[in-house]
Amino acid sequence: MVEWVASAILRAGISAFEIGPGYTSLPRIGGTERRNPLTAVGAGWQGVTSLLGQRPASMLVVSGDLGNIDSSTLSFLARFPGAASVVPFDGSYQPLCARWSRSALETAVELGRDQHPHAVRAALDGGHITWRDSRWAEDGILSPFFDVDTDEDLSILEKSIRGGLRGAN
């Protein structure tokens, strides 16, 4: 599944790094294993800025368990005008498939040691968020932000793919 996510990112023409254990062919930034999501985002930001030698205006954060994500959705998020954070909403906020602003990423580094369950939201709230209310889950098509956390979720995704309802990109 993480290879599907990685390939969607590459098809969108977005420069990418894997922040994690190395499940994909993407260049890897390690040291984030067994961490909470916010700590991983912060460590990823530090790794990317170190590799690039600069602090980009924003960074796309994409979780590896989004088996229905597509390149057009990722391209939309990455290329949304401005440098503000863009967090999709498909019935719930999707901060782990969002564009994070530099300010939100720097806050993630600061809050990364916090184990509070709302720390991800707190990091994003601090950096002028553009909440993009989207209706991706219309007409019975599975949302591109559907995450696979359980065997039941995987079964739902597989049925969607067999039914031709997965994003084409």
Euclidean distance between CA atoms 109 and 47, whole angstroms = 11
pLDDT of residue 147: 85
Q: What is the pLDDT of residue 129?
A: 60
Domain range summary for the chain, segments of one domain joined by + = 2-162
Mean pLDDT confidence for 79-85: 87
The confidence score (pLDDT) of residue 162 equals 75
Residue 26 and residue 24: Cα distance in Å, rounded?
5
Q: Which of 8-22, 29-43, 148-162 has the lowest mean pLDDT?
A: 29-43
What is the per-residue pLDDT for 133?
52
167 — pLDDT class (breaks 50, 70, 90): low
96-152 pLDDT, tens digit each = 899 999 988 888 888 876 666 567 777 777 655 655 555 554 555 677 888 888 899
User: Which CATH number is 2-162 given?
Assistant: 3.90.550.10
pLDDT tens across 40-76, in order? Answer: 888 888 888 998 899 988 899 998 888 888 898 899 8
Please tell me whether residue 107 adopts helix, strand or coil conformation. Answer: helix
Within 10 A of 162 (CB to CB), how many other CB atoms are there? 9
Instruction: Label residue 148 left, alpha or beta by phi (over 0 means left) and psi (-120 to 50 means alpha).
Output: beta
